[in-house]
């Protein structure tokens, strides 16, 4: 396991992923009943944007750096600002002195959004990262940090005992076959917990690969599969992270319209050139007749 998220924390892909995550959690809070978020590849939870790793790549300057800059200059439309508020609040909370020094990863963002009755299970396989995450949440009875292969949790921890919740799967994509693992993992978990919401992150690098992924997802027969993508540039000739994608199974009914407000705004902020674009489509949905 060579992947270290500290090099990429707060980049454009993190921003889009975390904004989607925040909208799903906010929707779950509309009902009083408790829910659980299971974060299968959690990372360390809090990132120092001026630390050695983040400094080396500077990726966050093209992500959260641009968003905060636009917010401070009042360049974000009110409707988008309203939807971004829970996410931005979490970013502000980890920067109590103002400015932008720290960035919350998915477990810390989720934790910030939970109510008293809600729970988070955060899995991380890298021993040092899992230890850091455990220290971050030490004494917090709403959070369970588990050093374990996140793929196993799709069988072991699903369904959650709350019977409501979100499963976030955000693997590093450092190995071959990660797209197939996503589909296989999803099928396994969905069989056990068909009422859950699932958010699966994937990189947009090679068109052929994502088309094959979409086809396999369609073939699972799962009824509601939404695909959200944002590309910061036109496809590069050599594989490069040109965009970010999220598959959402059983999305909140509000998500599509929220994305139609948020994605144009985020594309404008995060896009590097003319070829930037976004899409929200149903791989299989209620309107799907296939």
**How far apart, in Å, do the first and last CA atoms of the chain sit?**
40
Residue 285 contacts ligand SAM per CB under 6 A: no
Tell which one of 20, 68, 83, 125 touches ligand SAM (CB under 6 A).
Answer: 125
106 is in an annotated binding site: yes
Q: Binding of ligand SAM at residue 271 (CB under 6 A)? A: no
All residues at 6 or more sequence positions from 68 whose CB lies less than 8 Å from its CB, including other chains: 91, 100
d(CA 140, CA 266): 33
| Cβ at position 75, least distance to ligand SAM in Å | 25
> Interface with ligand SAM includes 226 (CB under 6 A)?
no
Among residues 10, 62, 63, 105, the one that binds ligand SAM under rule CB under 6 A: 105
Binding of residue 7 to ligand SAM (CB under 6 A)? no
Q: Does 59 bind ligand SAM (CB under 6 A)?
A: no
Q: Which stretch binds ligand SAM (CB under 6 A): 40-48, 60-68, 189-197, 208-216?
A: 40-48
Return d(Cα 226, Cα 251) in angstroms, integer. 7
Q: Please, are residues 88 and 82 in contact by the beta-carbon 8 Å criterion?
A: no
* Per-residue binding letters, 131-170, with ligand SAM (x by CB under 6 A): ------------------xxx------------------x
Written as six digits, the tokens of 47 are: 């990132």
DSSP annotation of 4 reads -
- Collapsing DSSP to helix, strand or coil, 259 comes out as helix
Cβ nearer to ligand SAM, comparing 168 with 265: 168
Q: Which of 19, 25, 28, 42: binder of ligand SAM (CB under 6 A)?
A: 42
Residue corresponding to tokens 């499963």:
167
Annotated catalytic, 48?
A: no
Kindly state whether residue 23 participates in binding ligand SAM, applying the rule CB under 6 A: no
* Contact call for residue 124 and ligand SAM (CB under 6 A): yes
Select the span of 41-49, 183-191, 218-226, 236-244 touching ligand SAM (CB under 6 A).
Answer: 41-49
153 φ, ψ (degrees, to nearest 5): -65, -20
For 225-237, the three-class secondary structure string (H helix, E strand, C coil) is: EEEEEEECCCCCC
Determine contact, residues 287/232, Cβ cutoff 8 Å: no
Tokens of 219: 């073939």
H-helix or E-strand spanning residue 64 = helix 64-72
The residue from 16, 25, 123, 283 that contacts ligand SAM (CB under 6 A) is: 123
How many whole angstroms separate alpha carbon 88 and alpha carbon 81? 9
Please report, in range form, the residues annotated as the binding site: 18, 41, 106, 124, 149-150, 170
Instruction: Provide the binding-site residues for ligand SAM, judged by CB under 6 A.
Output: 1, 3, 5, 14, 17, 41-43, 105-106, 123-126, 129, 149-151, 170, 172
Please report, in range form, the residues annotated as the binding site for S-adenosyl-L-methionine: 18, 41, 106, 124, 149-150, 170
């Amino acid at each position: 396991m060579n992947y270290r998220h500290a090099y990429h924390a707060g980049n454009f892909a993190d921003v889009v992923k975390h904004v989607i995550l925040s909208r799903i959690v906010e929707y779950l809070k509309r009902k009083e009943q408790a829910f659980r978020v299971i974060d299968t590849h959690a990372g360390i939870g809090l990132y120092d944007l001026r630390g050695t790793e983040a400094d080396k790549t500077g990726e966050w300057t093209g992500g959260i750096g641009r968003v905060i800059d636009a917010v401070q200059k009042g360049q974000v439309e009110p409707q988008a600002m309203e939807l971004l508020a829970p996410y931005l609040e979490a970013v502000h909370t980890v920067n109590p002195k103002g400015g932008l020094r720290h960035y919350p990863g998915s477990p810390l963002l989720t934790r910030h959004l939970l109510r008293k009755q809600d729970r988070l299970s955060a899995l991380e396989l890298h021993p040092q990262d899992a230890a850091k995450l455990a220290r971050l949440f030490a004494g917090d009875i709403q959070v369970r940090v588990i050093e374990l292969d996140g793929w196993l949790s799709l069988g072991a921890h699903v369904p959650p005992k709350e019977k409501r919740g979100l499963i976030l799967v955000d693997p590093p994509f450092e190995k071959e076959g990660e797209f197939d693992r996503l589909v296989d993992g999803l099928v396994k978990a969905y069989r056990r917990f068909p009422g859950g919401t699932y958010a699966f992150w994937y990189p947009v690098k090679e068109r052929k690969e994502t088309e094959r992924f979409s086809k396999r997802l369609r073939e699972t027969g799962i009824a509601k599969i939404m695909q959200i993508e944002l590309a910061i540039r036109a496809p590069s000739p050599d594989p490069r992270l040109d965009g970010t994608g999220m598959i959402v199974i059983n999305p909140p009914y509000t998500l599509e319209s929220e994305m139609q407000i948020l994605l144009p705004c985020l594309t404008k902020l995060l896009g590097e050139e003319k070829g930037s674009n976004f899409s929200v489509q149903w791989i299989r949905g209620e309107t799907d007749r296939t």
